[in-house]
């Protein structure tokens, strides 16, 4: 491993933990599930540890520690606003718990005129689909057969409807495809729509700028996908969106005055952050972004881009593999690759990688079912059949894929381990298929023997001693 990569790895916590395998051996864990959650940065954990002795109430007290805590909370807000090239005079960071809450918040708070609609797409995570679909009239931009946004359809829908908001993922959590945000922002703004980017998968992988760059009006993202796992997320956008109307959560912190007869809401951001703020989470997000800034974020992005191309090319050599989405050499993608191995259920592939090789991946539909249906080319009848199966409580043999997703700390050596494990799985396919058992209620595959489970249970209990 090049010295530079080794140095980079030393910045992260928990990269050298070994985990048990089915046969009793242990191997250093390979985490290829970064699109779900990333490990923490040491810089973030150290900063939190340094803050904890000073940790106190935010906005609620006047002792020294309270003033300090409030100052740090507000400074984190300011740091994040500037990091994304937003205008501190006009734009506002609202701290929430994750991207899902950020997207929900805007779905409650966005003011629209009669007849206006929301325009999302078929490639969205459920968190950028359901909040809109359940509250607003929502249209969906269609996709090309290989899973990119159909920009012609997007423009037609903008032209033929009164679109209040275009809301799209910056990068997909299924294919890693990076949407052409600048072009879309121009289109949305030309037709008078506001543009929200669900940046949960983009912020941890690529620089993004509000006012001068890609130009979305709002962005939403989570700290736990950004090496800052302390329960905070961000909604960033124009403050004017939050100056009228009621916040979706009310109570302490949201009001300036309350009497028997009158409620006077506080100005944003306080109005939008009900209850005691998550100082630790907010500070962690700011420190993670600061780390990116101090470690040449564009160079890190290039490293990950090359790793993704390397992995994609190596994966393409596995017999019977089907890779989804256009290759990263053709369409820019963050480090997310999904695939299936012909003849082997995706759940069994994921289980075999964990139990035989100590590699953590995710499988299934990744909370983006309409997109996965599209990529798998499922017919409406097939979708209905499997939805009925789920409704009946059976989760065996459901459609899905295997996903590997990278962080800046992953290496070519780790990718090589994945490829070797997939070749092994191909060679031992019949044996593994015969010996692993699937639980029809959960769809989870398990190898024979109890050793692994015993070790896992013991490890869990050790955290409660």
**Cβ 198 to ligand PLP shortest distance, Å:** 5
* Contact yes or no for 225/37 (Cβ under 8 A): yes
| x/- letters, 35..64, toward ligand PLP (CB under 6 A) | xx----------------------------
> Among positive and negative, which fits the CA dihedral 184, 190, 193, 194?
positive
- 363 is a site residue for ligand PLP (CB under 6 A): no
Burial class of residue 351, CB neighbours in 10 A (0-12, 13-18, 19+):
buried
Find the shortest distance in angstroms from Cβ 199 to ligand PLP: 8
Give the H/E segment covering residue 358. none
What is the Cα 256 distance to its own chain's centre?
Answer: 34
State which residue, 120 or 353, has the beta carbon closest to ligand PLP.
120
- In Å, how far are 84, 111, 132, 255 from 57, measured between CA atoms? 27, 33, 34, 17
Stretch that binds ligand PLP, among 41-49, 96-104, 245-253, 445-453 (CB under 6 A): 96-104
**Comparison of 125 and 271: residue with beta carbon closer to ligand PLP:** 125
Residue 335 φ/ψ region, left for φ over 0, alpha for ψ in the -120 to 50 degree band, beta for the rest: beta
The closest alpha carbon to 266, from 236, 246, 238, belongs to 246
Q: Is 278 in the site for ligand PLP (CB under 6 A)?
A: no
The residue from 127, 175, 278, 331 that contacts ligand PLP (CB under 6 A) is: 127
Of 173, 179, 405, 411, the residue at the interface with ligand PLP (CB under 6 A) is: 173
Kindly tell me which of 193 and 228 has the beta carbon lying closer to ligand PLP: 228
**Nearest approach, Cβ of residue 102 and ligand PLP (Å):** 8
Asked if residue 200 binds ligand PLP (CB under 6 A), the reply is yes
CB of 18 to ligand PLP, least distance (A): 27
Helices marked H in 96-206: 99-109, 130-133, 151-160, 181-190
Sign of CA dihedral 321, 322, 324, 329: positive
Query: Which region, judged by CB under 6 A, interacts with ligand PLP, from 134-142, 178-186, 196-204, 404-412?
Result: 196-204
Q: Is position 169 an interface residue for ligand PLP (rule: CB under 6 A)?
A: yes
Radius of gyration of the chain (CA): 23
Binding mask 223-242 for ligand PLP (x = CB under 6 A): -x------------------
Please tell me the distance from the alpha carbon of residue 31 to that of residue 50, in angstroms, as a whole number: 28
The angle formed by the CA atoms of residues 86, 90 and 92, to the nearest 5 degrees, is 65
Q: In terms of DSSP bridges, do strands 26-28 and 18-20 run parallel, antiparallel, or are they unpaired?
A: antiparallel
Instruction: Please report whether residue 100 would count as binding ligand PLP according to CB under 6 A.
Output: yes
- Residues in 372-401 at the binding interface with ligand PLP, rule: CB under 6 A: none
Is 141 one of the binding residues for ligand PLP (CB under 6 A)? no
Contact with ligand PLP (CB under 6 A) among 34, 69, 128, 278: 128
For ligand PLP, which is the closer residue by CB, 170 or 269?
Answer: 170
Q: How far is the CB of 249 from ligand PLP (least distance, A)?
A: 16
Write out the catalytic residue numbers.
367
**Residue 98 binding ligand PLP, by CB under 6 A:** yes
> Which backbone phi and psi does 388 adopt, to 5 degrees?
-65, -35
Binding part of the chain for ligand PLP, among 10-18, 121-129, 251-259, 414-422 by CB under 6 A, reads 121-129
As separate numbers, helices (DSSP H) first and strands (DSSP E) second, the chain gives 15, 19
Binding region for ligand PLP (CB under 6 A) out of 86-94, 125-133, 271-279, 440-448 = 125-133
CB of 204 to ligand PLP, least distance (A): 10
Query: What is each CA distance from 451 to 65, 228, 231, 350, 461, in whole angstroms?
Result: 49, 33, 33, 19, 15
Question: Restricting to residues 307-336, which ones interact with ligand PLP according to CB under 6 A?
Answer: none
Closer residue to ligand PLP (CB): 176 or 277 = 176
Helix (H, G, I), strand (E, B) or coil at 445: strand
Contact criterion met (CB below 8 Å) for 32 and 414: yes
Q: Alpha carbon of 43 to those of 69, 95, 184, 232, 315: distances in Å?
A: 19, 21, 35, 17, 33
Choices 38-46, 120-128, 143-151, 393-401; region in contact with ligand PLP by CB under 6 A: 120-128
Q: How far is the CB of 99 from ligand PLP (least distance, A)?
A: 4
Binding status of residue 198 toward ligand PLP by CB under 6 A: yes
What's the CA gap between 353 and 261, in Å, rounded?
62
222 binds ligand PLP (CB under 6 A): yes
Where along the sequence are the contacts to ligand PLP (CB under 6 A)?
35-36, 98-100, 125, 127-128, 169, 173, 198, 200-201, 222, 224
């Amino acid at each position: 491993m090049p010295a530079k990569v080794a140095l980079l790895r030393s910045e992260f916590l928990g990269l050298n933990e070994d985990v048990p395998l089915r046969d009793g051996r242990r191997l250093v864990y390979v985490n290829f599930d970064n699109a779900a959650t990333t490990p923490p940065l040491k810089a973030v954990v150290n900063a939190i540890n340094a803050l904890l002795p000073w940790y106190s109430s935010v906005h609620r007290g006047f002792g020294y520690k309270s003033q300090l805590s409030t100052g740090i909370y507000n400074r984190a807000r300011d740091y994040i606003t500037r990091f994304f090239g937003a205008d501190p005079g006009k734009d506002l960071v609202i701290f929430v718990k994750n991207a899902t809450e950020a997207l929900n918040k805007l779905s409650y708070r966005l003011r629209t005129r009669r007849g206006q609609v929301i325009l999302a797409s078929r490639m969205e995570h459920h968190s950028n689909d359901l909040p809109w679909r359940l509250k607003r009239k929502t249209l969906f931009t269609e996709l090309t057969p290989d899973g990119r946004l159909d920009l012609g359809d997007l423009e037609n829908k903008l032209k033929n409807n009164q679109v209040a908001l275009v809301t799209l993922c910056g990068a997909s959590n299924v294919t890693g495809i990076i949407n052409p945000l600048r072009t879309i922002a121009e289109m949305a703004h030309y037709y008078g729509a506001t543009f929200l980017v669900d940046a949960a998968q983009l912020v941890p992988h690529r620089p993004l700028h509000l006012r001068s760059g890609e130009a979305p009006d709002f962005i939403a993202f989570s700290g736990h996908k950004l090496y800052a796992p302390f329960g905070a997320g961000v909604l960033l956008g124009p403050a004017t969106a939050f100056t009228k109307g009621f916040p979706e959560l009310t109570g302490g912190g949201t009001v300036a005055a309350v009497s028997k007869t009158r409620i006077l809401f506080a100005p944003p951001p306080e109005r939008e952050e009900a209850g005691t703020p998550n100082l630790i989470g907010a500070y962690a997000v700011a420190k993670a972004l600061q780390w990116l800034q101090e470690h040449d974020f564009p160079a890190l992005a290039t490293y990950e881009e090359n790793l993704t191309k390397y992995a994609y090319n190596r994966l393409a050599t596995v017999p019977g593999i089907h890779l989804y989405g256009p290759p990263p050499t053709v369409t820019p993608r963050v480090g997310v690759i999904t695939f299936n191995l012909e003849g082997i259920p995706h759940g069994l592939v994921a289980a075999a990688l964990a139990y035989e090789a100590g590699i953590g991946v995710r499988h299934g539909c990744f909370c983006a079912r309409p997109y996965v249906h599209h990529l798998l080319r499922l017919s409406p009848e097939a979708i209905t059949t499997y939805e009925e199966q789920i409704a009946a409580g059976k989760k065996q043999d459901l459609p899905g894929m295997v996903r590997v997703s990278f962080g800046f700390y992953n290496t070519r050596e780790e990718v090589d381990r994945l490829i070797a494990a997939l070749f092994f799985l191909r060679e031992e396919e019949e044996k593994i298929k015969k010996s692993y058992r699937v639980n029809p209620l959960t769809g989870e595959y398990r190898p024979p023997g109890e050793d692994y489970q015993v070790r896992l249970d013991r490890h869990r209990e050790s955290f409660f001693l």
